[in-house]
Amino acid sequence: MMELNDPFEFLGPIFADKSERQRMRKFKAEVDKDFGLICLSDNWSHPLLWGHYADKHKGVCLGFDVLQPEDFEAVEYVEERPPMNQFGISAFSDLPEESIKRMLHLKFHAWSYEAEFRTFIDLKATVYDEKSKLHFVPFRPTMKLAQVIMGWRSKSTRTEVSKALGWLKQDVEVFKSRPAFQEFEVVRNRDDALWE
């Protein structure tokens, strides 16, 4: 959580009192020790997503069929930071579970292009990679890999992607993307001959 690119993650509401801000930061640090996030978008075609999360279009987008959508919560995008009394309380320590849940899914509206859905993951259920210092969640039965969308600047070949998918390749749609010709969006490149 501490590595997320939005410094306001979990700090969306206005904490007017210094001790309340400290309490919330401590809560965020405690959550960070035990939990991670899986964040999904329902719009792979937004160019900012590719610019921010796919190595400036050199990366890849994985499309999933989410078989239990109730496992994910939609992020709420707001214009202004809400005061604590909007949560029906005056202090962070009084927060009921529902209000904490809302705070964990609250973001500034400028991030709304992400169309984000998120779920929290217990880090004990992940595989930790010492080299990258990243946690990985094994594929679950409730999330089926359906698409691999290659960034238009990706140097990976069709053969390399097929090899990486292994036995999954028979059930996964793989294609290259490109910038749209008339709109600000990323679309499927229909000319397969342009991708080796």
Confidence (pLDDT) at 93: 66
On whether residue 13 sits in a domain, the answer given is no
Number of structural domains, the chain? 1
On whether residue 12 sits in a domain, the answer given is no
On whether residue 2 sits in a domain, the answer given is no
On whether residue 66 sits in a domain, the answer given is yes
On whether residue 48 sits in a domain, the answer given is yes
Report which of 162, 181, 160, 159 is spatially closest to residue 171, judged by C-alpha positions: 162
On whether residue 11 sits in a domain, the answer given is no
On whether residue 10 sits in a domain, the answer given is no
- Give me the average pLDDT of each 10-residue run along the chain (196 residues): 83 82 86 92 95 95 95 95 78 72 90 95 93 89 94 96 94 96 96 88
Confidence (pLDDT) at 92: 66
On whether residue 7 sits in a domain, the answer given is no
CA distances to 13, 25, 28 from 94, in Å? 14, 16, 16
- Round to whole Å and give the CA distance between 152 and 189: 8
Confidence (pLDDT) at 1: 67
Say how many Å lie between the first and final Cα of the chain, rounded. 38
Pairing of strands 116-122, 106-108: unpaired
Query: Domain range holding 127?
Result: 18-194
Confidence (pLDDT) at 2: 76
